[in-house]
A and B are shown apart, each in its own frame.
Chain A
Amino acid sequence: DAGITQSPRHKVTETGTPVTLRCHQTENHRYMYWYRQDPGHGLRLIHYSYGVKDTDKGEVSDGYSVSRSKTEDFLLTLESATSSQTSVYFCAIRGLAGNNEQFFGPGTRLTVL
C-alpha cells in the first residue's frame, strides 16, 4: 500500500462549474501524476509534478490546471467542467525503485452533466 488517497471518489457536476480533485500521499514522494482513463485510450497523462510548486503539462492538459503547495497534496482543477471531461481520474506517485514503477490511487469517477 503506497498510501495514496483520492477525494472525492465519486462526483456528479454540471457543465460550466469548477471542480477540484485532491490527491494525498503519505510517502513523501517527489513525483506525482494525474491521469484520466477513458475507453479505448488507456491512461493519459494530464499534468505531473516533480516537486512543490513544480508542475508541467502532460498530453491532455487543456481545460485542467494543477497545484502542489505541499509535498503530500496534488490538486487537479477543472476550470469549467465540460461533458468531455467525464472520466475516471487517477493520481499516481513514482516509486523509488528506479524502474519507473508508479503507484496509483483508487480513482475518482467524475460525471459532468
Chain B
Amino acid sequence: DQQVKQNSPSLSVQEGRISILNCDYTNSMFDYFLWYKKYPAEGPTFLISISSIKDKNEDGRFTVFLNKSAKHLSLHIVPSQPGDSAVYFCAATLGTSYDKVIFGPGTSLSVIP
C-alpha cells in the first residue's frame, strides 16, 4: 500500500503556463516533504522541500503548498519551461533516527514549446 501517491502519471503543459503537480499521503506522522526532479539516465536531484509546520515554501519559479488536513501537497512551476520536462517525485519522511524517505511513483511532466 503506497503511503505517498501521485495519481497523475503524466502531465502536459504549454510553455509559459503553470504546471501543478499533486501528491497525497496517508501517514499523518510524516513531518517533512520533498520534491525531486529526474531526467532520463540521471539520478534524481532535490528541488524543494517543506516542513509540516509550514503551508508554503517558495524558491524562484517553484512553490510547494502543503495542506495537512487533506494530507495533500502540490508543486507549482510558474512559468513552465521546456527544460522542466522531467519526472517529478514527491517524497515524505517520518523524521526517525535514520530519516528514511518514502517516495511516490512520480509524475512525468512535458512542457510543450
Which A residues are closer than 8 A to B by beta carbons?
4, 31, 33, 35, 40-45, 48, 50, 56, 58, 90, 92, 94-95, 99-107
As a 0/1 sequence over residues 1 to 18 of chain B, the CB contacts with chain A under 8 angstroms (1 = contact) are 000101001000000000
Which of B9, B41, B95: most chain A Cβ within 10 A?
B41
Bound complex: CA A100 to CA B41 (Å)? 23
Q: How many A-B residue pairs have CB under 8 A?
A: 61
Chain B residues with a Cβ under 8 A of chain A: 4, 6, 9, 32, 34, 41-46, 49, 51, 89, 91, 93, 95, 97-106
Of all chain A residues, the one with the shortest Cβ separation from B89 is A42
Pairwise interchain contact B41-A56, C-beta atoms closer than 8 A: no
Q: In the bound complex, do residue B43 and residue A107 qualify as a contact, i.e. CB atoms below 8 Å apart?
A: yes
Contact B49 A100 (CB under 8 A): yes
Evaluate contact between A43 and B89: CB separation under 8 angstroms: yes
